[in-house]
Amino acid sequence: MQRGARAGAARRSRRCLAQRDADRTSGFDDAGRRELDALTRHTGGVAYYPAAPDALDAAVAELARQQYTIAYAPTNQALDGTYRRIRVEARGAEPLVVRTRAGYVAASATQQGRSPR
């Protein structure tokens, strides 16, 4: 994720938290948190629920310091609509945590309902 995108995401998250504080029906109740947690687990992300909007800046900054991007090019280049599992392992002197989605569908833009670029 690029720095500009991170800053935009942080601003959007602060607005959401401010709205949540103003209106408790915004979906961050227990059911909403469970749903968001399930979504982030499925996509390889993580959900944060800071106690105050100001705490979000520190959480985003900490994530940015600990984040790495790994590129991947499959040996099977066929866009045949099959599901492909992803497994990433990391080894180091300290325990490492890897977050990634479980896999992807190898579909062309047309198969996905988008126009090719």
pLDDT tens string 88-106: 888 888 888 888 888 899 9
Q: Give the pLDDT confidence score for residue 23 in this predicted structure.
A: 38
- Average model confidence (pLDDT) for the chain? 75
Q: Give the pLDDT confidence score for residue 82 in this predicted structure.
A: 92
Q: What is the pTM of this model?
A: 0.47
Confidence of residue 12 (pLDDT cuts 50, 70, 90): low
Residue (of 94, 17, 99) closest to 50 by Cα position: 17
Q: From the CB of residue 18, how many other CB atoms can be counted at a distance below 10 Å?
A: 13
Q: Give the pLDDT confidence score for residue 79 in this predicted structure.
A: 92
Q: Is the pLDDT of residue 10 over 80?
A: no
The residue with greater pLDDT, 77 or 24, is 77
Q: Note whether 82 and 100 are within 8 A (CB).
A: no
Q: Which of 3-7, 9-13, 36-40 has the lowest mean pLDDT?
A: 3-7
Q: Which of 2-11, 20-29, 93-102 ranks highest by mean pLDDT?
A: 93-102
Q: Note whether 85 and 102 are within 8 A (CB).
A: yes
